[in-house]
């Protein structure tokens, strides 16, 4: 085995064939050579023939000419390091090629590019994918999604995003597909949770900044009314250390479900304010509310039972998580727990692309890939704890690129750690 390391903003091609044991996924790209020539007796056993064999499923190896699939990630930046996404993509590809017959029975060959969260490098990655002749592109979380997307859209090259919030991306009905509900964490989560709890009102405590207020003031009232719920908005300036007075007003107003939206310091003040005035009802929040600082500063009795939005089912025991863990254990050279969390969105997107293309046949081109994805029936999204997806433009008609409805929620224990994951707000996506 040998590694091919690409420089930032440059392409690296990976052709994972049938692996010789576990794959070494430790850089931006990886080449794994097929079995050496010889008799059948000399052929190596497939990866995962022991403990993980039952989880991974039977061997169904891809063969023939490879299908090039682009993988774009921000990778390593000055602020964060998501380069493990490339390692997860390599492991996922090895699993798909050996156990899921790749795409259309042909092996997937990865072509990777790193943006370093730089808009110009993002655009360069998009352009290089077009030049490399890939059949489709997979993009995990990216801070420069718009820059990556534009050249792909201009070339009508199919692109599947783990999540994207740009109106330009979400409204593309031609060649773009996203696996996140853009309204889930701020609207569908509190609506679905209120209905589950049997309460008739949601009180949103929202940080008073323009980015948060547009949705809270202009979109939320109609969405809650349509759901048959009363809605109260309480805005609090950022930096307010003691929110007890505002939270007393919340409690006096019979709040129903209290939903908190802000950064962690804002949420800490809101949670502690609710506790100070004796509120003992249901609390929900966006995932950014709960950090190590929150776990230290907020009493255990407040955190216990809180429901927050979750991007991935980190630490879950559902079958999709068991499979994901088995893929990394079998086909990578050791990705730690933190890396598994960072890389899970990439796994969901790349495996999701393969799942969407299970029925593809004949020539595999960007055009046939787009047509097959749009014609797919509703399926379970790999790695998503039971969430379904369908990319026919009907999940959110105003945003035809969206392929899912609803999302994941996590219920916290008294230490602020997730104890269970549940899909909320998901309804069938019809024809």
Q: What's the confidence (pLDDT) of residue 71?
A: 98
Q: What's the confidence (pLDDT) of residue 54?
A: 87
Global confidence as pTM: 0.83
Q: What's the confidence (pLDDT) of residue 50?
A: 53
Q: What's the confidence (pLDDT) of residue 43?
A: 39
The span from the CA of 217 to the CA of 95, in Å, is 46
Q: What domains are defined for the chain? A: 2-181+318-404 (3.40.50.2300), 184-313+412-424 (3.40.50.2300)
**Which structure tokens are listed for 317?**
């025991």
Q: Are strands 407-412 and 388-389 parallel, antiparallel or unpaired?
A: unpaired
CB 279 within 8 Å of CB 303: no
Q: Is the pLDDT of residue 41 over 50?
A: no
Return the DSSP state at 185: I
The span from the CA of 96 to the CA of 69, in Å, is 13
* Contacts of residue 35, Cβ cutoff 8 Å, sequence gap at least 6: 18, 20, 43, 44
| pLDDT tens track for 231-277 | 999 999 999 999 999 999 999 999 999 999 999 999 999 999 999 99
Q: Is the pLDDT of residue 362 over 50?
A: yes
| pLDDT tens track for 137-192 | 999 889 999 999 999 999 999 999 998 889 999 999 999 999 999 889 999 999 99
**Which structure tokens are listed for 265?**
């310091």
Q: What percentage of residues in the chain have a pLDDT greater than 90?
A: 78
Burial class (CB in 10 A: 0-12, 13-18, 19+), 8: middle
| pLDDT tens track for 63-119 | 999 999 999 999 998 888 999 999 999 999 999 999 999 999 999 999 999 999 999
Look at 17-26, 163-172, 357-366 and tell me which has the smallest mean pLDDT.
Answer: 17-26
- Residue with token string 């039971």: 386
The span from the CA of 374 to the CA of 389, in Å, is 11
| Mean local confidence (pLDDT), 184-206 | 96
What average pLDDT does the chain have? Answer: 88
Packed helices 366-375 and 337-356: angle between N→C axes, nearest 10 degrees: 90
CB 228 within 8 Å of CB 191: no
């Amino acid at each position: 085995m040998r590694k091919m390391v690409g420089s930032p903003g440059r392409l690296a091609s990976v052709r994972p064939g049938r692996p010789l044991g576990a794959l070494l996924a430790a850089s931006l790209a990886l080449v794994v050579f097929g079995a050496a020539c010889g008799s059948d007796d000399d052929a190596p056993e497939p990866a995962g023939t022991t403990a993980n064999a039952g989880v991974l499923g039977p061997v169904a190896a891809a063969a023939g000419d490879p299908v090039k699939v682009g993988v774009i990630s921000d990778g390593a930046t000055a602020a964060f390091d998501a380069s493990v996404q490339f390692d997860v993509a390599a492991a996922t590809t090895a699993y798909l090629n050996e156990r899921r017959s790749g795409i259309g029975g042909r092996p997937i060959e990865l072509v990777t590019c790193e943006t370093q969260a730089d808009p110009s490098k993002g655009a360069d990655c998009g352009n290089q994918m077009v030049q490399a002749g890939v059949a489709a592109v997979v993009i995990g979380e990216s801070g420069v999604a718009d820059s990556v997307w534009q050249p792909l859209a201009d070339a009508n090259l199919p692109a599947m995003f783990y999540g994207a919030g740009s109106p330009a991306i979400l409204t593309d009905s031609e060649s773009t597909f996203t696996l996140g509900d853009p309204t889930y964490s701020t609207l569908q989560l509190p609506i679905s949770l209120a209905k589950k709890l049997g309460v008739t009102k949601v009180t949103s405590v929202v940080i008073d900044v323009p980015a948060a207020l547009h949705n809270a003031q202009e979109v939320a009232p109609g969405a809650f009314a349509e759901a048959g719920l009363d809605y109260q908005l309480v805005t609090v300036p950022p930096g307010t250390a003691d929110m007890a007075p505002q939270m007393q007003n919340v409690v006096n107003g019979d709040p129903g479900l209290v939903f908190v939206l802000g950064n962690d310091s804002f949420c800490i003040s809101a949670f502690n304010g609710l506790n100070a005035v004796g509120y003992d009802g249901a609390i929900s929040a966006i995932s950014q509310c709960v950090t190590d600082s929150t776990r230290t500063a907020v009493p255990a009795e407040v955190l216990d039972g809180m429901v927050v939005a979750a991007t991935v089912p980190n630490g879950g025991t559902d079958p999709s998580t068991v499979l994901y863990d088995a893929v990394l254990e079998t086909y990578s050279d050791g990705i730690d727990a933190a890396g598994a969390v960072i890389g899970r969105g990439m796994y969901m997107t790349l495996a999701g692309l393969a799942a969407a293309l299970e029925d593809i046949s004949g020539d595999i081109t960007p055009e046939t890939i787009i047509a097959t994805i749009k014609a797919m029936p509703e399926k379970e999204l790999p790695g998503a704890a039971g969430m379904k997806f369908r990319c026919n433009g009907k999940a959110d008609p105003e945003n035809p690129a969206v392929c899912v409805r609803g999302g994941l929620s996590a219920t916290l224990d008294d230490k602020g750690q997730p104890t269970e994951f549940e899909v909320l707000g998901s309804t069938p996506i019809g024809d």
